[in-house]
Amino acid sequence: MNLKYSVGLDVSSKKINACISVIDEKQKVVTKSSTVISNTLKGFSSLEEWILKHTKETIPVVICMEATGIYHENCAYYLYGKAFEVSIILPNKAKKYLEAIGLKSKNDSIDAKGLSQMGAEQCLELWEPMGTFFYELRLLTRQHQNVTELKTVIKNQKDALSFAMHHLDSVTNQLEQTISLFETQLKELDKEIKSHLRSNKEVYDKAENILKMKGLGVLTLSTVLAETNGFTLFTNYKQLVSYAGYDVVEAQSGKRVGKTKISKRGNSRIRRALHMPSLVVIQCKVKPFKDLFDRTYEKHGVKMKSYVAVQKKILTMIYHLWKKNEAYDAIYHLNIQEEEQKITSRECGFEEDKMQKNSPNINIEATQGKHPVNNRKKLPLGVTNI
């Protein structure tokens, strides 16, 4: 008796390799069919017909694909709109799975087959599309980051030329003009981001409340909201911490107890956006964050570790204010619930070796890279691996 169909899609810019597999009650996975279609609307229609041809209506079907930049988005939206259950897998997790089942070679057809087996064997969390408002906000904030990076590259080139043996004014002038162009674009993007926030009154009101936190800017808050879809699918701050890569991992085996650290397996754009605010809130001596910085720095004496602890606290504070729809008040938020307020050095992954040796049986739960979703339908078989 067959329990579930799984369609694995390996998506590239021009084509999609597809493979459909089925798993039976003995957990045996059998490949039913494979095909290649174009990454176009016409190709998506052909893919839908192919799936319906090789599946039965009474048995669940799940679509499993990797997150490949933006190339997978149109296909995912199309299949979601046709009421298919879609799971989007992080590339590193798909890679580790394919290695675990013994696939040594790598090409598009092999990847599609491996993804179909992964979807058949496991109960993967279902993907839901991002709202239009936050999707557009994400386009703006990511473009801001891209232009900033390009400006830094050109500025470094200009600075390096100042130490060269020979100088050429035409080259220097071009670099200066390029830097000026990027600065103009950044100012325009700043205006567009603010205008986009104002276009949604509910979002703008919440943003104004959060921005009362000294040291936090519009760009940082917009980046966090855009990358998390306005915290729509998060039910607690631990999921958010994991999604941003601030969750703790440990290295322990037998008598050996290694250092704990943050995983960094999450959304790096959020961590990047929170770097500067963590410096500013300490410089401005914002009390809740300054107290945390001083407490952790006193234990390990490494400033950057304490700054990362502050970043994590800023993120959880933004989440708390957004969900509660409250304005930031430094005095009031000194007395927030202990689990959201008292972030120790161990919780941030920065415990001293000596402390670890005195407590060898530490249990640290980490759900790396997990972005929670609201499952529309429970599948009958498998164990969630994310």
pLDDT at residue 334 in the model: 54
Mean pLDDT on 249-257: 78
Residue 249, classed as helix, strand or coil, is strand
Spatial contact of 44 and 74, defined as CB atoms under 8 Å apart: yes
Which tens digit of pLDDT belongs to each residue from 339-373? 444 444 444 444 444 444 444 444 434 443 444 44
Domain boundaries in the chain? Answer: 2-121, 146-197, 218-358
pLDDT at residue 5 in the model: 93
Compute the mean pLDDT over every residue in the chain, rounded to the nearest whole number.
84
In sequence order, what DSSP letters do the residues of 76-134 get, joined into one string? Answer: HHHHHHTT-EEEEE-HHHHHHHHHHTT-----HHHHHHHHHHHHHHS-PPPP-PPPHHH
pLDDT at 338 over 50: no
Mean pLDDT on 71-96: 90
Q: How far apart are CA 64 and CA 352, in angstroms?
A: 41
| Candidates 3.30.360.10, 3.30.420.40, 3.40.50.970, 3.30.1330.20; CATH matching 2-121 | 3.30.420.40
pLDDT at 375 over 60: no
Amino acid, res. 6: S
Spatial contact of 323 and 231, defined as CB atoms under 8 Å apart: yes
Look at the block and give the residue holding tokens 């339908």.
377
